[in-house]
Structure 1
Amino acid sequence: MTPRGQAPVRAAGCVLWRRSRDGGLEICLVHRPRYDDWSYPKGKLKRGETPLEAALREVLEETGHHCVPGAALPTARYTVNGRPKVVSYWAAEATDGAFVPGDEVDRLAWLSPAAAHNRLTRPGDRIQLTAFLNTVPTT
């Protein structure tokens, strides 16, 4: 419980990535029309679900891609509508899949790390990108 007595909202997500044809990195960001923001695929945990299970489920639901989880990334902690929120993150390499726009996520972009850094709506989300870039495989 938090000092205010409210249990934090628990969520999880991934910095989803893939290699471009030329071997460079591409980072997946999703656009959520409800908030008109660009962020990583993420969402709230369901009852009985671990954070990693939730992160992988959210990636599939929001991007249509399966992925292989990698290193844990820094946890985000912030307040939404006066309630604390804790979001666990992992690096995850995209394997197969295809994006289909929906009500929750209407656009998806595969961007270079620099472009992803600039497109992220919430400046705090850049912490996970920086941590990811320090752990990403070089080959």
Structure 2
Amino acid sequence: MRAAGCVLGRRSADGGVEVAPALRPRGDDWSHPKGKLPPGETPADAARREVREETGMECVLGTSLRAARYRARGRPKEVLYWAAEATEGVFEPNSEVDELRWLPPDEARAQLSHPGNRALLDEALTALQLS
């Protein structure tokens, strides 16, 4: 199974950086926006679409990040990630994400449920030179 997603960030009003972990109801975990690639969609297009669907945000993709590889429901899964900057949009709870929090990087790191997501956050901050 292939999927794509983003570590979503933006500049805060005071010129700092905020990152947006998403609370997924199915897994009851905090993670980065991501989702499956339908046939014929490029990973980059899927990443932007998933951010839009899950968070209500439009984004500009930056540097590609390491791929996450793990087993989901007994099958191998690969998720391609990008560092991305939110450009506009408004979050509304939906079937895939209950809550979205814009947090400073250290708070976002603490909020994320899995170590792999924390490593992706660190990589994205370096890639975007936002930290």
**Category of TM-score, reference length = shorter chain:** over 0.9
Instruction: Could you tell me which runs of 5 or more consecutive residues in structure 2 were left unpaired when the two chains were aligned.
Output: none
TM-score by length of 2: 0.95
Q: 1:35: how far off?
A: 0.9
Whether 2:90 is the aligned partner of 1:98: answer yes
- Please give the alpha-carbon distance, in whole angstroms, between the structure 1 residues aligned to 2:58 and 2:94: 17
- Please give the alpha-carbon distance, in whole angstroms, between the structure 2 residues aligned to 1:12 and 1:48: 13
- Please give the alpha-carbon distance, in whole angstroms, between the structure 1 residues aligned to 2:51 and 2:112: 17
| Higher normalized strand content (fraction of residues) | 1
- Please give the alpha-carbon distance, in whole angstroms, between the structure 1 residues aligned to 2:53 and 2:8: 13
Query: Paired residue for 1:5?
Result: none
Identity percentage over the alignment?
Answer: 57
Query: Paired residue for 1:107?
Result: 99
TM-score by length of 1: 0.90
Whether 2:46 is the aligned partner of 1:58: answer no
Matched residue of 1:110: which SS?
coil
- Please give the alpha-carbon distance, in whole angstroms, between the structure 1 residues aligned to 2:130 and 2:5: 23
Q: Which structure's CA Rg is the greater one? A: 1
Letter in 2 for 1:56: R
Matched residue of 2:102: which SS?
strand
Instruction: Could you tell me which runs of 5 or more consecutive residues in structure 1 were left unpaired when the two chains were aligned.
Output: 1-8
Corresponding pairs, count: 131
- Please give the alpha-carbon distance, in whole angstroms, between the structure 2 residues aligned to 1:104 and 1:132: 23
Matched residue of 1:26: which SS?
strand
1:123-138 paired onto structure 2 within 5 Å = 123-138=115-130
